């Protein structure tokens, strides 16, 4: 039974990864509906929060049906992180996650995200500052290390646990790897099997099928897995993994009706959250994901990404339904 502070997550929880420009409330709603046990916001800049930047503020929007939900922050400055932890606490999430894994240059250059992997003492100080600033359970998400020669995650895990984090998610890549190659879970397993470690250890990287989730569960012994890219346009990954763990059987893929319903729920959520214009715009990159695997969808995709009102989008989906209900 995995537990973070007082948050009971059940056996082998499935976490939805924080993903910038993806893990927003409309996307989280469809993932929650299909079985995500713990979700995170996209990462939020601590400096942005303090400056009261609108973009950062908006990312703090969380809703009761999403619980348990964590808000993720990044930053390279102790005071800024502590201040933003207090701002976040006021919005009442279930936990606060610190990102020490983001490999993107604009973040790393500021000494935040994966940049901190080069300086464990700084990482520990930043974490300590956040733990001391808030009553919320603090968790960390990070990578194996900076590069092939500095995979320091075993030391990092012990030291972060010592300053009070309550769970650790490890993406099995280094910063230099970015998203290339395969995630290596052997070091994640080493952290999990370290007798000094008592906090939950969640594995992350490349889980994209129920079979792989179960294989990794058994092989690496982690307390749960975090799923990112495989959930984009395919929130059913969560229920498929759960079903496979429970029964050993592979659940049938979603029907065309289910795909359309999830996509329209996502769209309506986006409009409710961001307004008509922005909601429709921000939904455009998602259509090809929801239609993934269907043949000859180019024409529908083109119509969807040029439609500028909900009625038009619904009409395209009606055509999709007619075409594929027959074909399937
Ligand atoms: C589009 C995108 C945005 C991401 N944004 C974040 C983020 O805001 N915070 C974070 O900790 N990781 C972020 N990540 C990394 C993911 O959380 C995750 O660690 C990574 O995708 C590996 O998991 P996966 O193989 O299941 O996708 C992002 C990944 C993607 C693809």
Q: How far apart are CA 82 and CA 130, in angstroms?
A: 5
- C-alpha span between 14 and 200 (Å, rounded): 13
The first and second tokens of residue 139, run together, are: 């968790």
Residues 17, 51: one domain? yes
Ligand 1 test: best mutation among 14, 16, 18, most atoms within 8 Å of CB? 18
* Nearest atom in ligand 1 to 229's CA: 27
DSSP for residue 253 = P
Parallel/antiparallel/unpaired status of strands 14-16 and 201-204: unpaired
In this structure, the residues whose C-beta lies within 6 A of any atom of ligand 1 are: 17-20, 22, 42-43, 72, 99, 101-102, 141, 171, 204-207, 227-230
Instruction: Compute the distance from residue 107 Cα to the ligand 1 centre, in Å.
Output: 14
Q: Verify that 33 and 149 share a domain, yes or no.
A: yes
How far apart are the CA of 88 and the centre of ligand 1, in A?
21
CATH code at 309? 1.10.1200
Q: Does residue 298 share a domain with residue 213?
A: no
Q: Are residues 30 and 165 in the same domain?
A: yes
Residues 208 and 289 in one domain: no
In the structure, how many helices (H) and strands (E) does the chain have? 15, 10
Range of the domain at 302: 256-324
Contact between 225 and 216 under an 8 Å Cβ cutoff? The reply is yes
pLDDT tens for the chain, 328 residues long, are: 899 999 999 999 999 999 999 999 999 999 999 999 999 999 999 999 999 888 899 999 999 999 999 999 999 999 999 999 999 999 999 999 999 988 777 777 677 777 889 899 999 999 999 999 999 999 999 999 999 999 999 999 999 999 999 999 999 999 999 999 999 999 999 999 999 999 999 999 999 999 999 999 999 999 999 999 999 999 999 999 999 999 999 999 999 999 999 999 999 999 999 999 999 999 999 999 999 988 889 999 999 999 999 999 999 999 999 998 765 5
**Secondary structure of residue 126 in the 3-state scheme:** helix
The residue from 227, 247, 267 where one domain ends is: 247
- Side-chain half-sphere of 224: how many Cα atoms within 13 Å? 27
Task: Pick the residue whose CA is nearest to atom 13 on ligand 1.
Answer: 19
pLDDT tens digits, residue range 154-207?
A: 999 999 999 999 999 999 999 999 999 999 999 999 999 999 999 999 999 999
Q: Are residues 220 and 194 in the same domain?
A: yes
Residue 118 to residues 100, 110, 124, 147, Cα–Cα distance (Å): 10, 13, 12, 9
Last residue within a domain, chosen from 196, 219, 247: 247
Share above pLDDT 70 across residues of the chain, in percent, rounded to a whole number: 99
Are 96 and 162 in the same domain? yes
Q: What is the CATH number of the domain that holds 74?
A: 3.20.20.70
User: To which H or E segment does residue 167 belong?
Assistant: strand 167-174
134 and 265, same domain (yes or no): no
Pick from 226, 228, 229 the residue to mutate for probing ligand 1's pocket: most ligand atoms within 8 Å of its CB: 228
Q: Are residues 164 and 192 in the same domain?
A: yes
Give me ligand 1 centre to Cα 321, in Å: 32
Q: Whose CA is nearest to atom 22 of ligand 1?
A: 205
Among the atoms of ligand 1, which is closest to the Cα of residue 171? 19
Whose alpha carbon is nearest atom 14 of ligand 1? 19
Structure tokens that stand for 300 in this block: 């529908």
On whether both 276 and 129 belong to a single domain, the answer is no
Are residues 199 and 178 part of one domain? yes
- Smallest CA separation from ligand 1 atom 31, residue: 229
**Which residues are known catalytic residues?**
102
Whether residues 123 and 97 fall in one domain: yes
Atom of ligand 1 nearest to the CA of 99: 11
Give the Å distance between the CA of 17 and the centre of ligand 1: 6
Distance CA 288, CA 306 (A): 13
Last residue of a domain, one of 213, 247, 281: 247
CA-closest residue to ligand 1 atom 6: 19
Cα–Cα distance, 149 to 147 (Å, whole number) = 5
Distance CA 123, CA 81 (A): 12
**Which residue is closest in CA terms to ligand 1's atom 15?**
19
Count structural domains, the chain: 2
Q: How far is the CA of 49 from the centre of ligand 1 (A)?
A: 21
Q: How far is the CA of 194 from the centre of ligand 1 (A)?
A: 26
DSSP 260: H
**pTM: predicted TM-score of the whole model, two decimal places:** 0.96
């Amino acid at each position: 039974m995995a537990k973070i502070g007082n948050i009971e997550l059940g056996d082998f929880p499935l976490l939805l990864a924080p993903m910038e420009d993806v893990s927003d409330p409309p996307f989280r709603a469809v993932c929650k509906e299909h079985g995500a046990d713990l979700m995170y916001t996209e990462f939020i800049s601590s400096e942005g929060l303090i400056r009261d930047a609108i973009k950062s503020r908006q990312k703090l929007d969380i809703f009761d049906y999403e619980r348990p939900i964590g808000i993720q922050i990044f930053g390279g400055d102790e005071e800024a992180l502590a201040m933003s932890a207090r701002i976040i606490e006021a919005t009442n999430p279930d936990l606060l996650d610190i990102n020490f894994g983001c490999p993107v240059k604009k973040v790393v250059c500021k000494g935040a995200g994966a940049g901190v992997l080069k300086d464990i003492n700084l990482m520990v100080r930043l974490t300590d500052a956040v733990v001391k600033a808030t009553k919320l359970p603090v968790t960390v998400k990070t990578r194996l290390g900076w590069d092939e020669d500095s995979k320091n995650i075993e030391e990092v895990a012990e030291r972060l646990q010592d300053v009070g984090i309550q769970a650790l998610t490890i993406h099995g890549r280094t910063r230099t790897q970015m998203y290339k190659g395969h995630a290596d879970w052997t070091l994640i397993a080493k952290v999990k099997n370290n007798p000094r470690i008592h906090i939950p250890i969640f594995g992350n990287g490349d889980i994209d099928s129920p079979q792989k989730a179960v294989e990794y569960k058994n092989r690496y012994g982690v307390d749960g897995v975090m799923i990112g890219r495989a959930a984009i346009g395919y929130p059913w990954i969560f229920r498929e993994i759960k079903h496979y763990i429970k029964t050993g059987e592979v659940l049938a893929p979603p029907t065309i009706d289910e795909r359309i319903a999830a996509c329209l729920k996502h769209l309506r959520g986006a409009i409710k959250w961001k307004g008509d214009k922005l909601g429709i715009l921000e939904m455009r990159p998602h259509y090809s994901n929801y239609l993934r695997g269907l043949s000859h969808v180019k024409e529908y995709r083109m119509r969807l990404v040029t439609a500028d009102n909900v009625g038009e989008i619904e009409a395209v989906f009606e055509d999709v339904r007619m075409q594929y209900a027959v074909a399937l």
